[in-house]
A and B are shown apart, each in its own frame.
Chain A
Amino acid sequence: MKRYRLQLMVCAGTGCVSNHSVEIKDALDREIEKHKLQNEAEVVFTGCNGFCGAGPIVVVQPDGVFYQLLKTADIPHLVEEHLLKGRPVKKLMYSPPAEKIPIPKMSDIPFFSDQTLIALRNRGMIDPEQIDDYIARGGYKGLVKALTMMTPDEVLKEIKSSGLRGRGGGGFPTGVKWESCKHAHGDIKHVICNADEGDPGAFMDRSIIEGDPHAVIEGMIIGAYAIEKVHQGYIYVRMEYPLAIKRFQIAIKQAREYGLLGENILDAGFTFDIDIRRGAGAFVCGESTALMASVEGKPGEPRAKYIHTVERGLWERPTCLNNVETWANVPQIILKGAQWFSSIGTGDVSADPWGGSKGTKVFSLAGKVNNTGLVEVPMGIPLRDIVFKIGGGIRDGKKFKAVQTGGPSGGFIPESLLDLPVDYEELTKVGSMMGSGGMVVTDEDNCMVDMARYFLAFTQAESCGKCTPCREGTKQMLDILDRISVGEGTEEDLVTLEDLSNVIVESSLCALGGSAPNPVLTTLKYFREEYEAHVKDKKCPSHTCRKLNTYSIDEKICLKLGHGCHVCVKHCPDAAIIGERKQVHYIDPAKCSKCGVCYDVCNFKAVQVA
């Protein structure tokens, strides 16, 4: 491999690519050629860096200088200053909100410094399409160790005692799952990687695959070896992730070429291969039984899991299904040992595999925080640290309201519980869940009724419709929430809503229905006063539910600042605004349909909401 003085790691995660990071790379290449630095500096496309809110991102290695929010126009200056003259460009660096001093090194930025990387350890460091990059960072060492120095039972024991639990949502102890699959009757068994990441706003699995696909493949090979009688694995990726599919295809091809997949892996007499199966876009296919039905070519609908998939799964064969992040953790556990892994996190898993949450968890931090992106934190970290330290607090100095964890079926956690350690049991106790790791932060401008309605609308639309409570019940819940948000709700509706939610949780066929009411239940529990304001006073405290608002025009602002600009009149669909140009405007409440367009278009903030 050729060596360079400097390597410029350009983030090619989906967020940065949509912010034109490909053009940034082209510009860098051009400038480097112009200054004849081709032999000194190399530009590398990497997977997602994680700090998506700061994209496009370039990290200059080996110094680790972090440049953010780049534009192609910045590149000539950057190359000239940093690469040629050795003077890092301060104005392109990150500075924390409310501070003016830029932080040059990536490792010093709080967003990164408070994270612990296991699953994401290669992020931004390697070219995901080069197996050599992965191997250079210690990749496939775990596999070598497992296949050449350990028996399958020893591998299983290591995973069991590490306390690793399923990162896809359920939190089932991975070692226990592997063991059940190992002991299940059957001559042919399968492993599956669940990469059908359907939660809106979640992109943990996508980033792992796009940034480090070999980690997942290595984990699956180790798992197949430990479970035994497994010679074929499947990766189920959703069709909406074309880049992830491409990276997997390349990685599988390279692994086969290196003898890491296929017959007689590493001459250890073990045969295993992986195929990719593409999901067609149903959220419910992330549920294990529905996923397996889909792999078999049947409609993606769940079935009762009274007989577990580890006993009768894919094609009625014992099948071990784990999530992308779970598989990605496996090589590190084998390499560094169960003790190292279980030293991170909460509780004690030596006696009870459910006794604690070990290792790290990747969250996609989104919503009203300053630093949005992908974060990997040790289990047990207080929620407050994620939101305020890593996330950098609430944007524009607004007040924090709640954080929703676990994707669209997770619950909202209020400020009073912000010191809660992030751990499977703790999150479940307060009515939310770990889920696959979505984390949406809301502030005082968010209406909790509207948030609950938004997430329920998603799960309702994604319900497969197989069982009655989920199909009929979620629709009824949504209808009730729709009524509440337009001021037609009654106090009785709140009782019905809660009652119906509990029936759906108790009686649904699969976890989609079983968890869909969580956003409603938690908001009803922690933010009941907001619901009551909607149904009793017919008011939305955060003015999000527009049908409950009353719009009026402040005469002074309209006339003095706007000089009766008339813009609102042009946009009003109901012709409810009266007033001539250069005169004061008024809203006729009888005609106003409360669409709020006037509020949005007024450049002088003359339209008042109450």
Chain B
Amino acid sequence: MVTLKIDDKQVQVPEDTSILKAAEKAGIWIPTLCYSELFEPYGVCRLCVVEAVRGKRSRVVTSCNYPVREGINVLTNSPKIQWIRKTILELMLARWPNVKVVKDLARDVGVEKPRFVSLQRDEAEDACILCGKCVSVCREVVQANVLGFAYRGIKREIALPFGVQSEACIVCGACAHVCPTGHIKMVVEDYKGKKPEFTLGPKTAIYVPTLQAVPRVPVIDADSCIHFKTGGCEYCAKVCEPNAINFGMKDEVEEIEVGQILVATGFDIFDASAMAQYGYGTLDNVYSSLEFEMMLNSTGPTNGQVLTKDGREPRSVAIVHCIGSRDTNHHSYCSRVCCMYALKYAHLVHDRTKASIYQFYIDMRAFGKGYEEFYVRILDKGVKVIRGKVAEVVEAPPAQKDEGSLVVRCEDTLAGKLLEIPVDMVVLCNAIEARRDSDAVRRLFSISKSPDGFFLERHPKLDPTSTMTDGVYIAGCAQGPKDIPDVVAQASSAAARMLSFISKGEVEIDPVRAFVQEEYCSGCKICNSLCPYTAIEFLAEKKVSHVNEALCKGCGTCVAACPSSAMTGHGFTDAQILAELDGIMV
């Protein structure tokens, strides 16, 4: 421990502590600008200068990086220090008269108007003041080493290598975060011609997934966390008081034994960029239904406001039904939910903006309880409902830019007229489609799918929740497009079916099933792969196949296929069948 005096106040701190830290402990404020706890002191703004006095010798040092020395007396606000600080701030204020942080510090030390006029004067409010924080954070914390200084002396400036966007930049935003003037900004822009994922602004690496998340705790996104990219940073761990940050945590595979499974894997939405005529992915302000839903959400990127990409309120919005649904080129089925959510969008857009709203539909399918009434309400609000499939969405020609940035072309089939409607925003009602991984899921649970790609139920009318595999049930859009009330009803039904088995405690199985006569089995494994219920396993130590009788449905495929006649059905052995034949023939 080192004992020293700061402004005549005795302080005891560990060795290697900086004077700045020691002063903080003593409750003495020293102005800083280029200092941050995130990285090693850079020591260049020279605002944190103090006098270190030992005996008669006094030395002006920067408190941020000067280590405490035994017995020194530190003066943080002597006339000499005030004089230096004032002059430095005069110099800075002369060069950057409108930067808030400089103005504030200058006011704090009593500088109103600098004595100097700078020929390099930069009037911007967000001018770079060369504090070097961004360079330090990039080098020491992020360890990406992207930012640096170029040129020397008065021409010094922050620069990227060779002045171009660096491949080494991981777009972490740390530089923008530490920049005291806002000179460095994060801009979402098209990268290599590809539209970025719909994020509408930078997301931090630590976030609470949604406001409704359960449990409501933050998670680390390994894809954007600096630590997982460069091995550096770990700043969150340094500041987390309960020590709850664990970088070692990994995804784990847990095996749970269960008796029944409900497959409710949901759906994907149709990728509208496959229908190039609607401009999704190429034109600004053409959104998919899910993106628009995000925008409407009060915890979403725009806090629920309906805004065009350049931040304006749209003057008109087109809502286009049946994108990929009821379309022989894509999905011939009706996605069932779009009409109603499209009406909901119209309702919300009407509530939140003054935009005129257009609905383009093929048939309005408002079939549920209260749905038709809602449709009528929407009509009463003055939403323009046009029957006709939109032909294309294009960028507005310059002459029409005043009315809207986009033009929707379609035929009004009721009026028999061709329409060209300028709008500022287009919302596409994407079809619901089976998940991309549905084939893998199907194989995993030995269930089938219907021609539309959704999982096949045992019976479309009489048993819509169970499958051909006992103990495996399906519910929700995994089985087919449906709205929330239908999903709830189907899922409740499946749950009830499953509960009935649980409460019974035992499972009844059909007596007709196959078994292996082990002495005849040659271990050829032909049956193993044939079984549609994956009921046959191979016992490696005995080198014979074995039938799991709980899974076997007694279909007989294996019996017919077995080349050594080792596979036999209970009650249907060769001897029994021959005996029956004998009986008939007698």
Contact = CB atoms under 8 A, between A and B. Distances in A.
Contact of A304 (B62, B91, B151): B62
Given A462-B153, A499-B87, A468 B65 contact: no
A522 to B, nearest CB: 20
Interface stretch (B114-122, B381-389, B393-401): B114-122
Given A306-B61, A500-B87, A503-B87, A466 B44 contact: yes
A10 B152 CA distance: 41
A253 interface: no
B45 interface: yes
B44 A507 contact: no
A184 interface: no
Contacts, number: 100
A467 B60 CA distance: 15
A472 B92 contact: yes
Contacts of B5: none
B153 A460 contact: yes
A306 to B, nearest CB: 5
B52 to A, nearest CB: 10
Interface in B352-383: none
Contacts of B49: 507
Interface stretch (A29-37, A88-96, A473-481): A473-481
Contacts of A506: 60, 80, 84
Contacts of B148: 299
Contact of A468 (B61, B92, B151): B92
Interface string B93-130: 01100000000000000000001111110000000001
Nearest to B155: A465
Contacts of B61: 306
B520 interface: no
Contacts of B66: 304, 306
B513 interface: no
A471 B156 CA distance: 9
B154 A465 contact: yes
Contacts of B80: 506
Given A299-B149, A306-B61, A475-B153, A509 B118 contact: no
A456 interface: no
Interface centre among A466, A472, A500 (most CB of B within 10 A): A472
Contacts of B84: 503, 506-507
Contact of A465 (B83, B87, B91, B151): B151
Secondary structure of the A side of the interface?
Answer: helix
A39 interface: no
B324 interface: no
A301 B152 CA distance: 10
B152 A468 contact: no
Interface string A463-501: 111111101111110010000000000000000100110
Interface in A532-589: none
B118 A472 contact: yes
Nearest to B18: A306
A462 B44 contact: no
B487 interface: no
A461 interface: yes
B43 interface: yes
Chain A interface bracket (under 10, 10 to 19, 20 to 34, 35 or more): 20 to 34
Contact of B153 (A299, A304, A465, A496): A465
A471 B94 CA distance: 13
A549 B152 CA distance: 35
Nearest to A307: B67
A57 B380 CA distance: 107
A369 interface: no
A468 B44 contact: yes
B553 interface: no
B72 interface: no
Interface string B268-295: 0000000000000000000000000000
B535 interface: no
Nearest to A477: B116
Given A465-B130, A466-B44, A509-B46, A471 B153 contact: yes
B205 interface: no
B307 interface: no
B88 A471 contact: no
Given A467-B46, A506-B84, A472 B91 contact: yes
Nearest to A496: B115
A476 B118 contact: yes
Interface string B33-62: 000000000011111010000000000111
A468 B84 CA distance: 11
Interface in B136-156: 148-149, 151-156
B88 A465 contact: no
A345 B586 CA distance: 141
A142 B15 CA distance: 43
Given A306-B67, A467-B44, A509-B46, A476 B152 contact: no
B62 A468 contact: no
A592 to B, nearest CB: 26
Contacts of A471: 130, 153-154, 156
B177 to A, nearest CB: 23
A476 B87 CA distance: 12
A2 to B, nearest CB: 52
Contacts of A474: 153
A304 B87 contact: no
Q: Which of B44, B47, B118 has the most CB of A within 10 A?
A: B44
Contacts of B43: 303-304, 467, 509
Contact of A475 (B45, B87, B120): B120
Contact of A282 (B67, B149, B152): B152
A469 B88 contact: yes
B54 to A, nearest CB: 14
A463 B154 CA distance: 8
Contacts of A476: 91, 94, 116, 118
B457 to A, nearest CB: 68
Nearest to B33: A468
Nearest to A480: B116
A463 B132 CA distance: 16
Contacts of B156: 464-466, 471
B151 to A, nearest CB: 7
A466 B155 CA distance: 11
Interface in A265-321: 282, 284, 299, 301, 303-304, 306-307
Nearest to B154: A475
Contacts of B94: 472, 476
Nearest to A461: B153
Given A306-B67, A507-B84, A465 B46 contact: no
Interface in A237-284: 282, 284
Nearest to B156: A465
B149 A468 contact: no
Contacts of B45: 467-468
Nearest to B116: A476
B389 to A, nearest CB: 63
A471 B91 CA distance: 10
B116 A464 contact: no
B126 to A, nearest CB: 19
B122 to A, nearest CB: 12
23 contacts: A282-B152, A299-B148, A299-B149, A301-B149, A306-B66, A463-B154, A464-B152, A465-B149, A466-B156, A469-B91, A474-B153, A475-B119, A475-B153, A476-B118, A479-B117, A496-B115, A496-B116, A499-B87, A500-B87, A503-B83, A503-B87, A506-B80, A506-B84
Given A472-B118, A507-B46, 20 more contacts: A304-B43, A304-B62, A306-B61, A307-B67, A464-B156, A465-B151, A466-B156, A467-B43, A467-B45, A468-B45, A471-B153, A471-B156, A472-B91, A473-B91, A475-B120, A476-B118, A479-B116, A503-B87, A506-B80, A509-B43
**A-B interface, 9 closest residue pairs, ranked by CB to CB distance from nearest:** A465-B156, A472-B91, A463-B153, A503-B87, A465-B153, A467-B44, A475-B154, A507-B46, A507-B84
Interface of A: 282, 284, 299, 301, 303-304, 306-307, 460-469, 471-476, 479, 496, 499-500, 503, 506-509
